Structure 1
């Protein structure tokens, strides 16, 4: 009799657990996205009362700045489904549109913020995106550090990757300073750029030397990324005060000083590199030119070389003369990457003509696509093995 009572109790608890888990997920335990062996992907969403559900993903042909979309099909059980064509190896983002309202996939916990938009992500392997995976290799350490920036009169936050073995070593390492684009912050490269995974995998494969990667916040009006400072939770915006006005470049030595005072790094020009995407490419161009004795490697990823005659800063004066000085000092690598359909293509083309007229040596890498993280991750993978 007692055993029967205990059996009933166990069955009751199992039933309660099952219902609790079902409530937690808001319905049946759907798998979405489901990545198939042939690299097609099935998406599912339970929305029995919806009239229309669309799937929007960055692998679809874009409609201007907006990713394309495709209608999902509703089945008798109230679940909407769509299976893609075969997708190439990449990190992808997507969202659902339910009766015109954008929403995340409730069955996918893997999300990344890009400026003020949060999107679900998934990864297709068996190709270049294997570098974006957490593979079974030695791992580096990612830290968020606060530093004093006298030039900006505040404490600020940066993200720092140290290579595998750093903590147990007495060795000194070279440094790559890696800068984000407009609207980004010190979280952009580590999240969207998959920097830690890329560095771990390249180092493990012997394709890159162990190095520190310092990912700063290029918005000097901010202490840190939205939600990470005393300002609290607020909606991120694209353009902030002191954006591309010379303040970030002028105060960049605060970053270098903190790193060289607090980490075991090599402090000569031969062991410093700087690179950035879009606005960060603009910053990298001007920081390396304004401090011509500081960096021996420069990477401009889709650089936002946008002339603005209204911006007055000592940093942007004597452009040609300082560029000439940078050339005469000598560089091991000046690397430029741009997509064929990038809206900045013409500006980069004009800048390359200037470099050609000066006989300024540089390496040029032109790809398909536009102003996207797909390209910028590729550029990082191409650039890093050439350093140090």
Structure 2
């Protein structure tokens, strides 16, 4: 009996060893991707011996310029990888500036994530591989550093106005659970096609807040990241609709429904969390569509927010024939009323090549004509997450002072 058990054990060990050998052999050449070098150049590799052409596209490449409607815009660039004798395709960049980069491989015309990089992220209906190069003060805010960490929760709430149970992402600062203190709140809104996961994942909001608070540069605060698509319960794949394909083409995005329902969010937060419930301790900000929402929520509720941030705001992009025309009517008169209430901060940020810069400049021209005080930041680049992370990093230290 013992002899039979020993033989069985040896057979199992042999089978396991053979399986490991087969697995190792099946992997082919042992390469890494992305491979970050000491000078911050990066080599991307792909094992694809049968492929005819492999390319890479990503925001680490200089954008190419495209003409549309008489205007020049930035567009993603593409470069070729080169195959070696082992069937490994490679491309090495110039030294890159510290930044959080996203990219894709393109294999014989098919866009894919990097199979050798386990870190990827969804933006609407696209998946991107992710690469973070630190090393300067700004991008180190995007890292998980050895500081006290806040808590990120996915929280469901009732929205009677929308007629749905909906989900929020809520960041509570380190110590919230035990401090007994009341905190100010930043309501942070995403762009079109995004959802309540956008700012915590693509925007690195939790890391930015953790690091700024730990450095004493930002006040401890709650950050409430909403889903601005009022027809949705929550982000795609995490609702009663099942694994529905994400899309930008959603109903009720910029026709007044979200702005009308927004007080439901504030009421829920102030009922559920230990927060300060006055204008001086509430802020609202958002990117693109979220900047559009932030503008109209604040000017239609001039006693609600003491701080307003517009990040590449989609000014004047409301849907025609919307169901709530009063939300968008008399915009300038409402802006005047907001400023008559003396907001502590009205902040505008946009990229030099953003397709919305003219709309933002028109808004600024009106503010200037009325001598309304605001803070303005213009950055390089266009309508991109790289800029929106900068804007959040610059905006939050100015709050609740």
Q: Is 1:123 aligned to 2:122, yes or no?
A: no
Tell me the TM-score normalised to structure 1 length: 0.95
Tell me the residue number matched to 1:370. 382
User: d(CA) in 2 for partners of 1:347 and 1:321?
Assistant: 18
Q: What's the CA shift for 1:307?
A: 4.7
Residue 217 of structure 1, CA deviation: 0.2
Offset of residue 29 of structure 1:
3.9
Three-state SS of the structure 1 residue aligned to 2:397 is helix
* Preserved CA contact (<8 Å) 1:178 1:275: yes
Deviations 1:42-74 (A, max 9, x none): 111110011111111112133466521111110
Which residue does 1:335 correspond to in 2?
A: 347
Contact 1:339 1:371 in 2 (8 A): yes
CA RMSD, aligned part only? Answer: 2.1
What is the TM-score when the length of structure 2 is the normalising length? Answer: 0.92
What does residue 49 of structure 2 align with?
A: 48
Partner in structure 2 of residue 317 of structure 1? 329
Which of 183, 186, 201 lines up with 1:191 in the alignment?
201
How far apart are 1:235 and its partner, in Å?
1.2
CA distance, structure 2, for counterparts of residue 182 and residue 113 of structure 1? 14
Structure 1 equivalent of residue 358 of structure 2: 346
For the residues of structure 1 that align with 2:254 and 2:50, how far apart are their CA atoms?
48
> How many angstroms apart in 2 are the aligned matches of 1:363 and 1:93?
30
Partner of 1:137: 147
Contact 1:22 1:29 (C-alpha < 8 Å) held by counterparts: no
Count of matched residue positions in the alignment of Structure 1 and Structure 2: 386
Q: For residue 80 of structure 1, what is the aligned residue in structure 2? A: 89
**In 2: Cα distance, 1:250 partner to 1:20 partner:** 60
1:12-91 residue pairs with structure 2 within 5 A?
A: 12=14, 15-16=17-18, 18-19=20-21, 21-22=23-24, 26-63=27-64, 66-91=75-100
Q: Is 2:234 the partner of 1:224?
A: yes
Q: Distance in 1 between matches of 2:308 and 2:250?
A: 25
Does the 8 Å CA contact 1:276/1:301 hold for their aligned counterparts? yes
Give the 3 Å change call, closer, same or farther, for CA 232–22 of structure 1 in structure 2. Answer: farther
Matched position secondary structure for 1:270: helix
Match of 1:259 among 269, 276, 289: 269
- Equivalent positions of 1:168-183 (< 5 A) are 168-183=178-193
1:145-201 Cα offsets, whole Å, 9 max, x none, are: 000000000100010000001111100000000000000000100000000111111
Structure 2 distance, partners of 1:210, 1:12, is: 58
> Tell me, what secondary structure is at the counterpart of 2:57?
strand
Cα deviation for residue 6 of structure 1 reads: 11
Q: Residue 304 of structure 2 is aligned with which of 284, 289, 294?
A: 294
Distance change in 2, residues 1:258/1:20 (3 Å): farther
- Asked if 1:110 is matched to 2:122, the reply is no
